[in-house]
Amino acid sequence: MKILKALVLNFVVFAKKFPSRAWLGFRLYVLRNVSTDEVTRWFRDKGDENLRLDYPGLDEKSVVFDLGGYRGDFAHAINEKYGCTVYLFEPHPTFFQICVDRFVLNTKVIPLNYGLSDKNGAFTLSDSADGSSFLNPNHLADEGIECEVEEILSALKKLEIPEIHLMKINIEGGEYPLLLHMASESALDLVNQYQIQFHNFIDDAESMRDEIVRALSKTHERTWCYTFVWENWKRKSSVA
């Protein structure tokens, strides 16, 4: 188990530098705990090109949250396509600065140097000589960088944002406490659409995902799903 955890940690460093295909390929061929059918379907359907930016309801008045902004590729693409305002949450100082520099002339992409979670506090990101990676509870590392997270509802109040039109979530396991907290606070309907990457190298990932799916199903409907790859949820018109 320790070897597996270390392998995951080292590969996340690699995956953060390269396209999503590398990360999915690793999970498929090394961890072997993602359905081959789901990964194959995602690539066959060209999900990155055909689904992840397909939100025709967005426009220049829309607000998008990019959780796990990394270098800002998704924020750039969604802003360029729809002209929406994007709040990019990237707690790692190096990647945050990359985003600050990248969007210095674009006032509609707003990098923020913290993450969103179920409570205020800090968590650890690994930081090694050849790169940095998100550190989830199953990762092993002797050194790291302390990064800040804020409780999502207090963050929304501070930012004076009453509604989010799209929230993209790729936060290496942090999706579970965040979404479970939102469910417990009856706050899932604050977001019109969720684009979520659930990670299954977290303990009890399947049961937690099932619980979140049950909660989301009360206010949203799933529009497409590639289990533990990417999935999308849209708010039901009855709760809009």
Q: Which residue in 127, 180, 156 sits closest to 63, CA to CA? A: 156
Q: Do the strands 191-196 and 164-169 form a parallel or antiparallel pair, or are they unpaired? A: parallel
CA distance 49 to 143: 37
Say whether pLDDT at 235 is over 80: yes
Q: What confidence score (pLDDT) does residue 126 get?
A: 64
pLDDT-based confidence at residue 131 (cuts at 50, 70, 90): very low
Phi, psi of 200 (to 5 degrees): -105, 15
pLDDT tens for each residue of 203-215: 999 999 999 999 9
Task: Give the pLDDT band of residue 124 (cuts 50, 70, 90).
Answer: confident
Q: Which residues pair with 85 in a beta bridge?
A: 63
pLDDT in tens, 75-118: 999 999 999 999 999 999 999 999 999 999 999 999 999 999 99
Structure tokens that stand for 169 in this block: 């979530």
Strands (E), the chain: 63-67, 85-89, 109-112, 115-117, 121-128, 131-134, 144-151, 164-169, 191-196, 220-226, 230-235
d(CA 77, CA 233): 20
125 pLDDT higher than 90: no
Q: Please say whether the structural domain 2-239 has been given the CATH code 3.40.50.150.
A: yes
**Residue type for position 172:** E
Q: Which amino acid is at 26?
A: F
Considering all CA atoms of the chain, what is the largest pairwise distance in Å, rounded to the nearest integer?
51
Between 6 and 156, whose confidence is greater?
A: 156
Residue 11 has which token pair? 């590969």
* 173, 201 Cβ separation under 8 angstroms: yes
Strands 164-169 and 63-67: parallel
In this prediction, residue 238 carries a pLDDT of: 78
DSSP letter string over 168-183? EE--TTTHHHHHHHHH
Confidence band of 25 (pLDDT split at 50, 70, 90): low
Q: Domain segments of the chain: what residues? A: 2-239
Give residues with Cβ within 8 angstroms of 202, minimum separation 6. 136, 137, 138, 173, 176, 208
Per-residue pLDDT at 219 exceeds 90: yes
**Residue 29 contacts by C-beta under 8 Å, 6 or more apart in sequence?**
none
Tokens of 94: 């190096």
Higher-pLDDT residue of 23 and 2 is 23
Q: Residue 165 is encoded by which pair of tokens?
A: 């039109």
